[in-house]
Chain A
Amino acid sequence: MIPAIGLSLGIIIGLLLQPAVPVWLQPYLPIAVIAALDAVFGAVRAILDGIFDDKVFVVSFLSNVVVAAFIVFLGDKLGVGSQLSTGVVVVLGVRIFSNVAAIRRHLFDA
Chain B
Amino acid sequence: MTRPAPTDRRPDASMTLLTTMLQRPLDPGYAAAANRREAQGKPRSTSLRSPLLVIATVLIGLLVGVASYNLTTANKPRSQARADLIGQVEDRRDQVDALTTKAETLQGQVTALENQQLRDPSLADGTRELGAAVGTVPLHGPGFTLTLDDAPGSGADEAAPGDTKAQQGQVQAKDLRYVTNALWESGAEAVSINGKRLTATSAIRFAGSALVVDYRPLTRPYVITALGDPQRFPARFADGAGGTYLSTLRNSFGIRVDTKVSDDLTVPAAVGLTTRFAHSGDTGGATASPGSTPSPTTREGQGAPS
Assess whether A29 is in contact with B33, with CB atoms less than 8 Å apart.
no
A6 contact set on B, CB distance < 8 A: 53-58, 61
Interface segment, one of B43-51, B110-118, B132-140, B195-203: B43-51
Assess whether A12 is in contact with B65, with CB atoms less than 8 Å apart.
yes
Asked if A109 is at the interface (CB within 8 A of a chain B CB), the reply is no
Q: Which of A4, A12, A56 has the most CB of B within 10 A?
A: A56
Supposing A7-B60, A10-B58 touch, asked if A59 and B66 sit within 8 A by C-beta, the answer is no
Asked if B68 is at the interface (CB within 8 A of a chain A CB), the reply is yes
Specify which of B25, B44, B60, B70 is in contact with A21 (CB 8 Å cutoff): B70
Asked if A47 is at the interface (CB within 8 A of a chain B CB), the reply is yes
Q: Which of A1-41 contact B (CB under 8 A)?
A: 1-4, 6-15, 18-21, 23, 26, 29-30, 32-33, 36, 39-40
Specify which of B29, B45, B49, B60 is in contact with A36 (CB 8 Å cutoff): B60
Asked if B245 is at the interface (CB within 8 A of a chain A CB), the reply is no
A26 contact set on B, CB distance < 8 A: 70-71
A94 contact set on B, CB distance < 8 A: 21-22, 25
Q: How many residues of B contact A (CB 8 A)?
A: 39
Distance from B55 Cβ to chain A, minimum over Cβ atoms (Å):
8
Asked if B67 is at the interface (CB within 8 A of a chain A CB), the reply is yes
Asked if A70 is at the interface (CB within 8 A of a chain B CB), the reply is no
Asked if A72 is at the interface (CB within 8 A of a chain B CB), the reply is no
Bound: A57/B57 CA distance, A: 10
Specify which of B22, B26, B48 is in contact with A42 (CB 8 Å cutoff): B26
Give per-residue flags for A37-55: 1 if the beta carbon is below 8 A from chain B beta carbons, else 0.
Answer: 0011010011101111111
Assess whether A53 is in contact with B45, with CB atoms less than 8 Å apart.
yes
Asked if B178 is at the interface (CB within 8 A of a chain A CB), the reply is no
Q: How many residues of A contact B (CB 8 A)?
A: 51
A53 contact set on B, CB distance < 8 A: 29-30, 33-34, 37, 45-46
B58 contact set on A, CB distance < 8 A: 6-7, 9-10, 13
Asked if B96 is at the interface (CB within 8 A of a chain A CB), the reply is no
Bound: A8/B58 CA distance, A: 8
Asked if B5 is at the interface (CB within 8 A of a chain A CB), the reply is no
Specify which of A23, A30, A40 is in contact with B60 (CB 8 Å cutoff): A40
Q: Which of B54, B57, B58 has the most CB of A within 10 A?
A: B57
Asked if B62 is at the interface (CB within 8 A of a chain A CB), the reply is yes
Specify which of B54, B61, B66 is in contact with A19 (CB 8 Å cutoff): B66
Bound: A58/B70 CA distance, A: 24
Assess whether A11 is in contact with B30, with CB atoms less than 8 Å apart.
no
Supposing A57-B56, A61-B56 touch, asked if A99 and B64 sit within 8 A by C-beta, the answer is no
Asked if A91 is at the interface (CB within 8 A of a chain B CB), the reply is yes
A33 contact set on B, CB distance < 8 A: 63-64, 67
Bound: A98/B29 CA distance, A: 17
Assess whether A57 is in contact with B61, with CB atoms less than 8 Å apart.
no
- Closest 6 interchain pairs by CB? A10-B61, A14-B65, A6-B57, A98-B25, A51-B34, A53-B33
Taking A7-B57, A11-B65 as known contacts, 16 extra A-B pairs with beta carbons closer than 8 A to each other, sorted by chain A number, are A4-B57, A7-B60, A10-B58, A10-B62, A18-B69, A20-B70, A29-B66, A33-B63, A46-B26, A47-B45, A51-B30, A52-B46, A53-B30, A57-B56, A65-B63, A94-B22
